[in-house]
Chain A
């Protein structure tokens, strides 16, 4: 009850009370999501801020358990409740706070204005309906059209993702993983959405198919001018597809900026660690360079900077106070006390200056 009140006082009716850039499509503010189990509360997303502009594609990068999927599912309120609960925050989409949208309105937006591509194509299609019918279903849900029109349009979508129309009446089990993901993509673009949430769309596929699917997604993104939130833990994928990138750690964004800004000069020690863990083609490396340690237990998060326990540059202050995002020039934001000048970390600065 308390949580609901909080939401209401924080978000009056109408459009966003914040100054938004005119071309902002999705604006997530201070999102907090928890999963309540019998024993514990898992703090999955902790005060996350994120914006996506019209036609922009943003890569959301982080390791497993960082809260990436939870963030994406929150946008359409698809988190299973129980156990999940969006306890605070606002998600503005075209002047509407999604967290306060009525169920009927939410259904209108789902699949038509915002669609989702899920991680595992093997399980995200219903095994008992033909792929064509599953695409037609979303069209019929959001557009008034006859059976024939729906069938024709669904067939068009199949062709757009490179599947012959003749396979309309086949079932998911007759498709390979990559083809299934194409079907899921066809389903997600069927109603020409403003925004596609792609949750690790290539993780479950093998490498050659990954490349094909990514290429298809980039192509469609250009053609349809759709915004994209691409969740992945693969920095290479982000560089290939995205305009901007946000690095997520333990439920919050630790660094964000354009691809050039973040990839050329990563600022946050975690981001630097991520890049450092990618083996280089030019050098001979005996061993990979992982980031030491584990992500903090999401049921007991550290007081201060969540990365401090693993950070080679951390000082006492890091463990004591919460860190805010600060600008690192341009649109580049970073959540690190060293970059705020709270303490001196010459080695870190050397890493940053050196870039990649």
Chain B
């Protein structure tokens, strides 16, 4: 098992190299001059050349990339073109906010989505099932930003229960977290329902019933545990997406997260920050996936056995 985890972590290295290379080259070869962005409207040619030299932009592309990587490995991700602050500081200020928002949103989606999906499956075609499935359809198809705006109109401007922006108390996370979670919630509910519907028709559920077990025990211990693999997969993917895809929600609610930072920096050609942001997101995405794979092994002894044999 440890060997498996180690192997996966080592595999992260080529992934991150690839990701950084792609992002780096996109930013280098697309139009737009970071020097110009930095100097503003009026500048002399001398100042321009001096700045260009200082930013190291006169070096060939590959040299710049290798330099960046060598520095990055030592923990130096450069300085932001935009603010001249170290990139690490920029990220450190934003990343926790994004993680907090995503974690709260995912918690909400899991705590509501899985029970709702289970009830929908065990009471197929009941009122609960129909309502939650229509709700899930809305959840999947509704654009995030629109829902966010509607929540602001109703609960912030209208009822005044929660603030629409600013990050000061626990109240300010409620609306953005709900907005961010709705999509995942809908996906998790649907996945739980369909996976449960499949499992509760299995023979071993009939065996469990023939043992005289209570329906609740059968549903949770025997059915849900077996239905968890696709649910866990969905949760993992949604979690990953919500980390990187919170841009719209962060924008609507003026949430100081990494998504917004990323978009600002892409607009201003702030290459060091963009690459670092993408690297951080890619790393988190990979680690979440690794956690999911470990969770598979925990859930299913057959997968556990595969990991063990792969080790030899």
Contact = CB atoms under 8 A, between A and B. Distances in A.
Interface of A: 76, 78, 106-112, 115-116, 118, 120, 123-128, 130, 137-138, 141-142, 171, 173-174, 184, 187
Contact of B211 (A130, A138, A174): A138
Contacts of B207: 116, 118, 124-126, 184, 187
Contacts of B8: none
B304 to A, nearest CB: 9
Most chain-B Cβ atoms within 10 A of its Cβ — which of A106, A137, A174? A137
Interface string B270-310: 00000000000000000000000000000111100100000
A127 B301 contact: yes
Given A118-B206, A120-B203, A173-B301, A128 B212 contact: no
Nearest to A173: B302
Contacts of B209: 78, 110
A184 to B, nearest CB: 8
19 contacts: A78-B206, A106-B212, A108-B212, A110-B209, A110-B210, A111-B212, A112-B212, A115-B210, A118-B206, A124-B203, A124-B206, A126-B207, A127-B204, A137-B213, A138-B212, A141-B211, A171-B302, A173-B301, A174-B305
B204 A123 contact: yes
Nearest to B124: A82
A111 B211 CA distance: 4
Contacts of B222: 126
Given A118-B203, A120-B203, A127 B302 contact: yes
B225 interface: yes
A109 B302 CA distance: 33
Most chain-A Cβ atoms within 10 A of its Cβ — which of B225, B300, B301, B302? B301
Contacts of B206: 78, 118, 124
A187 B210 CA distance: 10
B312 interface: no
Given A118-B203, A118-B206, A173-B305, A128 B211 contact: no
Interface string B207-239: 111111110000000100110000000000000
B74 interface: no
Nearest to A79: B206
Given A123-B203, A126-B222, A127-B226, A141 B301 contact: no
Given A142-B212, A173-B302, 15 more contacts: A78-B206, A110-B209, A110-B212, A111-B211, A112-B212, A115-B210, A118-B210, A123-B202, A123-B203, A124-B206, A128-B299, A130-B301, A137-B211, A138-B212, A141-B213
Main secondary structure of the interface of B (DSSP, over half): helix
A108 B214 CA distance: 10
Contacts of A112: 212
B207 to A, nearest CB: 5
Interface residues of B, number: 20
A130 B304 CA distance: 13
Contacts of A128: 225-226, 299-301
A107 B300 CA distance: 28
A123 B201 CA distance: 11
Q: Top 3 nearest A-B pairs by Cβ distance? A: A110-B212, A111-B212, A123-B203
A116 B212 contact: no
Nearest to A112: B212
A118 B211 CA distance: 12
Given A118-B203, A120-B203, A171-B302, A126 B226 contact: yes
Contacts of B208: 126
A216 B305 CA distance: 30
Contacts of A120: 203
A125 B209 CA distance: 12
Contacts of A141: 211-213
A127 B300 CA distance: 8
Contacts of B302: 127, 171, 173
A109 B209 CA distance: 11
B214 A111 contact: no
Given A126-B222, A127-B300, A128-B301, A107 B203 contact: no
A116 B214 CA distance: 17
Contacts of A138: 211-212
Contact of B210 (A76, A142, A173): A76
B204 A116 contact: no
A107 B210 contact: no
Contacts of A174: 305
Contacts of B226: 126-128
Nearest to B225: A128
